[in-house]
Amino acid sequence: MISRKNMGSASPLLLITLVLGVCFATYNLVTMVMHNRSISKLTIYNSDGGIFVDPIIEMPESVRKLKRAKMPFHVALTATDAPYSKWQCRIMYYWYKKQKDLPGSEMGGFTRILHSGNPDNLMNEIPTVIVDPLPAGLDRGYIVLNRPWAFVQWLEKATIEEEYVLMAEPDHIFVTPLPNLAHGGYPAAFPFFYIKPDQNEKLLRKFFPEEMGPVTNIDPIGNSPVIIKKELLEKIAPTWMNVSLKMKDDPETDKTFGWVLEMYAYAVASALHGVQHVLQKDFMLQPPWDLEIGKKYIIHYTYGCDYNMKGELTYGKIGEWRFDKRSFLRGSPPRNLPLPPPGVPESVVTLVKMVNEATANIPNWDAE
């Protein structure tokens, strides 16, 4: 009897334990299925057949294709006729030609959009379209304000065969062949850590009203590098220009955003048109902060690289060895720049080697 009572009292407990175990297992299974289902919506394929998860937008199933037809894009950069701009354009164009026809590349034609209003001595070296600068005084010394206006004019007057456009800059070097990273109506852009819409809501609401949604609809990007459908850029560019001018006219916004004002303007203009970008961290690297080339496509040498002879970064202090594009404001850097000392990161070494290769092979390099 005692044995029967013990068995009788144990059975409900055993059943409860079994039921709870089954429920827990079922919950885990459902959770895994739901998690994988949600991840699958965020997963898109890159041009090499690899996958990545985009943290900003969900990609439609229709654009998640492992194999697709080649989608060439036109490379366009804005420039002035100043020596500082010209030598960077020459190096950039040299590496464009080197990478354009290599496997994996989807680069199409190339245009330097020269917003000086007049031809210069690179017209026969680099494919160039001349556009007008902003009216005198309108940029208030902020030369980059001419960039959206230059794109507006170029899109109106040029015949562009490619369906997509890469907005690039003179201080970009193609370190590997660049595929089309855009996906249909979703342009590809590089996320900049210093573009922070969520931390500047008060200012941005002057240009992005509440009825347009949360400020997180504004991507943390600039206008370059961006690969975008030409028809989308044609819609965004005039708004980008107008927002840039309005931001520059607002003292508080101008003071807060400073040299990145026009980058914020592009991000806002895109959001006003309901355009969101796929953020591509591998789009670009920026020495000296990015140490390795890895699978990156573009070197952006906007920052100075200063090191002592032990290979230690001395950022903010002129190093015993340095490469800084601003050292060559009035003319081209000399050929055969000295390489960095041992211990300097791969990204900086590669940058200097690529500059040296370009200057060694570009005819009449020292010409103004």
pLDDT at position 56 is: 45
Is the pLDDT at 8 greater than 90? The verdict is no
pLDDT at 306 over 50: yes
Question: Looking at the predicted structure, is the pLDDT value of residue 22 above 90?
Answer: no
Decide if 59 contacts 92 (C-beta within 8 A): no
Start-to-end C-alpha separation, the chain: 108
Cβ-based burial of 185 (10 A; exposed 0-12, middle 13-18, buried ≥19): middle
Using an 8 Å Cβ cutoff, are 78 and 146 in contact?
yes
Domain with CATH 3.90.550.10 in the chain: 73-282
Mean pLDDT value across the chain: 86
**pLDDT one-digit tens code per residue, 234-271:** 999 999 999 999 999 999 999 999 999 999 999 999 99
pLDDT tens digits for range 129-146 = 999 999 998 989 899 999
What pLDDT sits at residue 368? 61
Average pLDDT score over residue span 2-8? 37
Task: Answer whether CATH 3.90.550.10 is correct for domain 73-282.
Answer: yes
The pLDDT of residue 24 is 39
Looking up tokens 């342009």, which residue turns up?
A: 187
Report the predicted TM-score, pTM, of the whole model to 2 decimal places.
0.83
Question: Which pLDDT score, from 0 to 100, does residue 69 have?
Answer: 85
Cα separation, 197 vs 208, in Å, equals 11
State the helix-helix crossing angle for 346-361 and 83-100, rounded to 10 degrees: 100
CA distances from 286 to 22, 93, 190, 228, 292 (A): 52, 19, 11, 22, 10
How far apart (Å, rounded) are the C-alpha atoms in residues 161 and 73? 9
What's residue 14's pLDDT?
Answer: 36
